[in-house]
Structure 1
Amino acid sequence: MPIAIKMPALSPTMEEGTLAKWLVKVGDSVSAGDIMAEIETDKATMEFEAVDEGVIAHIQVDEGTEGVAVGTVIATLAEEGEDAGSVAPVGDGASAAPAAAAAEEAPSAATAPSAPTPAPTPAASPGNRVIASPLAKRIAEQKGIDLAGVTGSGPNGRIVKADVDSAKPAAAASASTAAPAAAPAPAAAPVEAQDFGIPHEVEKLSGMRKTIARRLTESKQTVPHIYLTVDIRLDALLKLRGELNAALESQGVKLSVNDLMIKALGKSLEAVPACNVQFAGDSMLKFSRADVSVAVSIPNGLITPIITDAGSKAISKISTEMKDLATRAKDGKLAPEEYQGGTASLSNMGMFGIKQFEAVINPPQGMIMAIGAGDKRPYVVDDSLQIASVMSATGSFDHRAIDGADGAQLMKAFKEMIEAPLGLVA
């Protein structure tokens, strides 16, 4: 019998994704392990492998479709021995959902669809749970619309974007009539670009860029940041790096300054466990291991692959892992567990000549270390003014979870690790 190919959950938190590209077409034979499509999540573009053998009979979601919910039927596979030409699409009822999702994402979806033959059912389920697409929920939240009063026209009464748009006046009016004193202030209208007659082009945001925008805005609005900066002398670290690279040359390992910074942050978090924490509402998560997320710039934005147990891991191992993670991050080949999690982050912009900056905390983590460029500066050494290689490091801390004194202890420990670096190889 025909097999339904469904939108996979490529990460534990994935609810929807973009079907970026089909790598097969109707009539193609596939085997288990064949790459069928590229799917863009909020973190990366990942390959989707076939788990069954057969012939592609129908493609039910076009490539480029955004907001495809996990579990949506995206194609139908005819099993071996079946005539693909006579196989009907699997899950016609379920596949109406991606069509509705695609329609609500499309620019032409501003007009409300005509009502279906049966009367639309209310979106609230018997348990008073509102059934709505993620996009419809976001728009309703932005505009202050109560979805409980909106009738859905999607499958099983699901509310889609067109329903929110068409129900806006009524929903807003009923909300203000029911409780005028408690009515929420209207959300700010979406910012519209103004070109002022300047030649330009419009580039649609990728799912990753949308997620970056949302998470960083959320971080700055909800996390009280405290910033602590120290100047760190690098001469001893650079000398040690040269000696280690000479010793490791036969093994094909070449350490970067960033590898040593990852190790130093890991050991510092172990030394000051009060900073290896996360705020969790009415509780605190205290970690016994330092997993350092490292910011890596990729074509579509930014991703943070994780060096697990960075404080205990050999620097040569950190270097090897980091090179592999960075390469696969830029190719969109990271597995979810390789970039989700981490107890703290490190962002190094020194290679770009940035002297000092304040990084935004990556929720729900409690801190991030921002590394600036090392350069020759006048510096007091042994009570005399000398020229030394110095960098500035700034820690951003979630003040709900980490007190300023504890943050200062971490910065002190980090500075000492860098300036007396033999402890990194102990």
Structure 2
Amino acid sequence: MAQDILMPALSPTMEEGTLAKWLVKEGDSVTSGQIIAEIETDKATMEFEAVDEGVIGKILVAEGTAGVKVNAPIAVLLEDGEDASAAPAPKAAAPAKVEAPVVAAAPAAAPAQAAAAPAKDGKRVFASPLARRIATQKGIDLASIKGTGPNGRIVRADVEGLSAASAAPTAAATAAPAAEAPKAAAAPAAAGAMPTGPNAAQVAKMLDGRDYEEVTLDGMRRTVAARLTEAKQTIPHFYLRREIRLDALMAFRAQLNEQLSDRGVKLSVNDFIIKACAVAMQRVPGANAVWAGDRIYKLKPSDIAVAVAVEGGLFTPVLKDAHLKTLSALSAEMKDLAGRARNKKLAPHEYVGGSMAISNLGMFGIENFDAVINPPHGSILAVGAGVKKPVVQADGSLGVATVMSVTLSVDHRVIDGALGAEFLQAIVDCLENPLSMLA
């Protein structure tokens, strides 16, 4: 029987996308798991694989079409031998399905998550063959995974970044009863929409007679604007500031880079900052936490998100288990993630998660700034440039040192002032005594 191929939700924040390119044409036979199109999400261009086998009977959305809603029909798949006249009339697009990162999901989302992977004859979940093969290789139970493909189908992107150990908490996190739905989350809706400022027509009227260029927002810029507006309106930020002397770190870095030069490794100050934050999370575990609607989730691994500027916005790829990795491993992984982020080739699992983020503008000469928390993170560290400054030495004499200013933005719902200060002190200790974070 003919069936619709629907616009998939290929990222956690995707509500609509651009059908960048069809890799098949009408009349082509396709197999389950075959890549049939390239779709631009709010964050990246991703490949879309067929869920079932059959023949492309009709393409409903031409390539290059922007603003295609999630779950809207984009093509019709026919069974072998079926005539194109059997194709059903296009249906109205279903409401956009926006899937939040598991760590941030409120318990109220549990029923939807459970329904997202329906069982066939009560025995199996819907998954593409490629996803099943990856899951089998990794020992992952597909029943614990929430699919992001059409009708909740589990696809390759859902399982590529998981392990058998990491998949289990996903099922536990989504199993909270609906009776425990957070009451606090409903409060903003009851209070009415928050003000967003003047609309386009009002601003255009203010600029009447002036020369300006209108820039249409793409998916990434819309997402960045929405999330940062949400963050500043809903997260009670407070800020902790410190200055860090980098002389010991700079000397240690130079020594390591000399020794690692034969391996082609060159460590950056940012690599040390990532490691310092990861170690500090282990020393102050209360700060390794995220906000989840009506509760706090405390993480055990140190998963660090790092802001990477790209054309039109930014990505925050996540370095998982950073406390367990060497500096050279972190450096290589960060270079790889940053490079693919700039080319918009990251998969969703590579930029979702983490309990804190790092935003480093020091390379641009910025000495200090305040960063906005990326929900559901509990904090974000804003890193400025290291500059030579006069300092008072331990013996009371004046000297010169390389000093870096940092600001820790903290979600007061997750971390209180004293805990935040302890966490920042642990970061400072690691950076001013770099050998200690390697012990």
TM over 0.5: yes
3-state SS, counterpart of residue 385 of structure 2: coil
Alignment partner, residue 145 of structure 2:
none
Structure 1: 5+ residue stretches without partners: 102-181
State the 1:22 CA deviation: 1.9
Which amino acid in 2 is paired with 1:5?
A: I
Alignment partner, residue 208 of structure 1:
220
CA, structure 1 residues 271+5, in 2 after alignment: closer, same or farther (shift >3 Å)? same
Alignment partner, residue 84 of structure 2:
87
State the 1:261 CA deviation: 0.6
Residue 222 (1) aligns with residue 234 (2):
yes
Alignment partner, residue 293 of structure 1:
305
Write out per-residue CA displacement over residues 37-89 of structure 1, whole angstroms, 9 at most, x where no aligned residue.
Answer: 33232333322234566664422123454553433321134566x59xx6247
Q: Distance in 2 between matches of 1:41 and 1:238?
A: 40
The percent identity for this pair of structures is 50
Q: Distance in 2 between matches of 1:183 and 1:369?
A: 32
Structure 2: 5+ residue stretches without partners: 97-189
3-state SS, counterpart of residue 74 of structure 2: strand
Residue 405 (1) aligns with residue 418 (2):
yes
Alignment partner, residue 130 of structure 2:
none
CA, structure 1 residues 184+350, in 2 after alignment: closer, same or farther (shift >3 Å)? closer
Task: Map 1:48-63 onto structure 2 (within 5 A).
Answer: 48-50=48-50, 56-63=56-63
Q: Distance in 2 between matches of 1:187 and 1:261?
A: 37
Contact 1:296 1:326 in 2 (8 A): yes
Higher mean displacement: 347-356 or 278-287: 278-287
CA, structure 1 residues 373+365, in 2 after alignment: closer, same or farther (shift >3 Å)? same
Alignment partner, residue 123 of structure 1:
none
Task: Map 1:189-338 onto structure 2 (within 5 A).
Answer: 190-192=198-200, 193-194=203-204, 195-338=207-350
Higher mean displacement: 184-193 or 299-308: 184-193
Alignment partner, residue 76 of structure 2:
76
Q: Distance in 1 between matches of 2:279 and 2:302?
A: 8
Normalization by structure 2: what TM-score? 0.70
Q: Distance in 2 between matches of 1:51 and 1:299?
A: 32
State the 1:312 CA deviation: 2.2
Which amino acid in 2 is paired with 1:396?
A: S
Q: Distance in 2 between matches of 1:210 and 1:353?
A: 28
State the 1:288 CA deviation: 1.3
CA, structure 1 residues 381+28, in 2 after alignment: closer, same or farther (shift >3 Å)? farther
State the 1:326 CA deviation: 0.9
Contact 2:23 2:38 in 1 (8 A): no
Match of 2:428 among 386, 401, 415: 415
Aligned pairs, number: 340
Q: Distance in 2 between matches of 1:183 and 1:422?
A: 52
3-state SS, counterpart of residue 324 of structure 2: coil
Which amino acid in 1 is paired with 2:314?
A: L
State the 1:25 CA deviation: 6.2
Q: Which has the larger radius of gyration?
A: 1
CA, structure 1 residues 64+274, in 2 after alignment: closer, same or farther (shift >3 Å)? same
Alignment partner, residue 368 of structure 2:
356
Higher mean displacement: 372-381 or 52-61: 52-61
Higher mean displacement: 24-33 or 197-206: 24-33
Q: Distance in 1 between matches of 2:316 and 2:298?
A: 21
Q: Distance in 2 between matches of 1:324 and 1:89?
A: 47
State the 1:362 CA deviation: 0.6
Which amino acid in 2 is paired with 1:70?
A: V
Write out per-residue CA displacement over residues 330-363 of structure 1, whole angstroms, 9 at most, x where no aligned residue.
Answer: 2222121111111111111111111000000011
Contact 1:29 1:53 in 2 (8 A): no
3-state SS, counterpart of residue 392 of structure 2: strand
Q: Distance in 2 between matches of 1:277 and 1:15?
A: 25
Which amino acid in 1 is paired with 2:423?
A: L
Q: Distance in 1 between matches of 2:230 and 2:58?
A: 40
CA, structure 1 residues 238+188, in 2 after alignment: closer, same or farther (shift >3 Å)? closer
Which amino acid in 2 is paired with 1:341?
A: G
Normalization by structure 1: what TM-score? 0.72
State the 1:199 CA deviation: 2.6
3-state SS, counterpart of residue 214 of structure 2: coil
CA, structure 1 residues 243+51, in 2 after alignment: closer, same or farther (shift >3 Å)? farther
Task: Map 1:377-392 onto structure 2 (within 5 A).
Answer: 377-382=389-394, 383-392=396-405
Higher mean displacement: 345-354 or 273-282: 273-282
Which amino acid in 2 is paired with 1:92?
A: A
Which amino acid in 1 is paired with 2:385?
A: A
Write out per-residue CA displacement over residues 1-59 of structure 1, whole angstroms, 9 at most, x where no aligned residue.
Answer: 65643212323x35632124124464474755664433232333322234566664422
CA, structure 1 residues 260+62, in 2 after alignment: closer, same or farther (shift >3 Å)? same
Higher mean displacement: 362-371 or 36-45: 36-45
Alignment partner, residue 10 of structure 2:
10
3-state SS, counterpart of residue 97 of structure 1: coil
3-state SS, counterpart of residue 228 of structure 1: strand
Which amino acid in 2 is paired with 1:384?
A: S
Q: Distance in 2 between matches of 1:220 and 1:75?
A: 40
